[in-house]
Chains A and B, each alone.
Chain A
Amino acid sequence: MDHRAHRPVQTFAALCAAVQLAACNQFVDLAAVQKYAETTASAAASFDALARDYGRSCRRRRSFVAPPADLRFLAIPLADAVESPRTIAVAPAPAAPSSMSTLSNCTAEDAAAAEWMKRNGIVLGYVRSLGALAGADQVPKFDALGTALVNQNVIDQTQDDAFTGLLGAIALSATHAGQEDAIARTARDAAEPLRRAVKALKIIDASYANQLQAEYDAVNETYKTRICDELLAVIHQGPSAANVGRCTLPPGFPSAIPSASRLAVQTTSADAARLIDDVNARRVATVEYAKAIDTIVATNDDIVRSADRKASAAQIAAIVKKHFGDLVTAVAGVQKAVK
């Protein structure tokens, strides 16, 4: 057997394998851009839920601050609510000295929420388009031709591997060049408008945080009043001028008061804690949301900077990876709050 006859084929195969391997490495890097886009897209539902809550938070606050006019008392379930629903008095809405202090009927907040969702969709859609450009399904396949040539004994399997590998690598390289160019061009075109759009998103995020703060205060004060009412009624035998300002837990609480009253106060406290926890989780989500959209801008800006320096797909992917961890954490934080 003449081994020398096989040497060119082996060399050719080794060369092709090396080219293919190099191309594969780039291929994986572009996949990182796709992963980044997919993760961002997965945030859509939680971002929408957060945005939608802008109007809902307004209505929740309103239910505490200004119940409907035909209801003088706001029914809140207490520990003994099954047998005897109790109510607490709710102060009437304060007179409005100006339009800016008039309690909203929440239509403005609903409109803001709808626009917020729309803008989230635009930003996330943009990131998804980068993922589409980095898509792995844009490289032609040569397998069928290689297989046909092997079946006709024109080439053997080793040569086929080399043949399809080389063609694939060349196609991959050409495709990557196009992908890199398209990603860089898109990122550059979108950079400035993206910064401005995200700034608006951060403003509504901060506005939502103020809404949640107001909701927190409304819940806190309503329940504080209610717990105080129970304590005054049970411990101090009813509210009186002498008991004003004594709305604190008595020494020895909870064992010092009857178990039924203790349960009522503890249950009321637990109700309040649950509502407060929910509001606080959303307040944390506003912080995570801000981090997520900041990361989107930072990633885009870095892609543009790298493109200006003629960065390779691998370098672009390295940038994406750098921000990827931050994005995953921030998106998870938002998802946790709105699940």
Chain B
Amino acid sequence: MPQTLDADALLALANGFAAIATSVRSTLDNDAIALSPGQSAALSSKLTSLDTMAVNLSTEAAKIAFDDTAGAAAQIAAATSAACDEAAAMARNARKITGVVNVIAAVVAFGGAFGSGNPAKVLAEGANLIAAAQASKDGTVPDQA
């Protein structure tokens, strides 16, 4: 039964082709080997083919690697989504508590205004109390600084 190459094996093969091409070029440069125009063109063509095989195999390796890890990517995305939901829920809860605290504070302020006997103050604090209660009910308490 024929075996298929995995992404690592394909990449290793690609790296091998690239290394051969690099080695040949390095030898030509360092040893200043003189080639006839025909030899030069033929060698250049072979080296270009090696380069092309290296990049094509590399791209194939990347494709296989992505295919093999599609499930892992989906799992990470799910964990991310759950974490973001949880962070949002924590922030919502914090806002809820702050909202209740604000209502209690508004009640205290309203009580003080009521005790002072100043109608304008009572009205103002009453309005504040209603606003705080509404914000707490609607969950529109501003984000924490």
Residues 90-133 of A contacting B (Cβ, < 8 Å): 91, 93-94, 96-97, 100-104, 108-109, 111-112, 115-116, 119, 122-123, 125-126, 128-130, 132-133
> Residues of B within 8 Å of A, CB-based: how many?
75
Alpha-carbon separation in the docked complex, A207 to B8 (Å): 11
A binding-site residues for B, Cβ under 8 Å = 58, 61, 65, 91, 93-94, 96-97, 100-104, 108-109, 111-112, 115-116, 119, 122-123, 125-126, 128-130, 132-133, 135-142, 144-145, 147-149, 151-152, 154, 171, 175, 178-179, 182, 186, 189-190, 192-194, 196-197, 199-200, 203-204, 206-208, 210-211, 213-214, 217-218, 221, 241, 244-245, 248
Does B109 make an interface contact (CB < 8 A)? yes
A213-B91 contact in complex given A101-B49, A186-B83, A193-B73, C-beta closer than 8 Å: no
Alpha-carbon separation in the docked complex, A171 to B52 (Å): 61
CB distance from A162 to the nearest CB of B (A): 16
B80 near A126 with CB under 8 A, answer: yes
B77 near A122 with CB under 8 A, answer: yes
> Residue of B at shortest CB range from A189?
B79
B53 near A144 with CB under 8 A, answer: no
CB distance from A51 to the nearest CB of B (A): 11
Number of A-B contacts (CB under 8 A): 233
A144 near B144 with CB under 8 A, answer: no
Alpha-carbon separation in the docked complex, A307 to B104 (Å): 38
Alpha-carbon separation in the docked complex, A248 to B56 (Å): 34
Residue from the list B36, B63, B86, B109 in contact with A133, Cβ < 8 A: B86
B91 near A137 with CB under 8 A, answer: yes
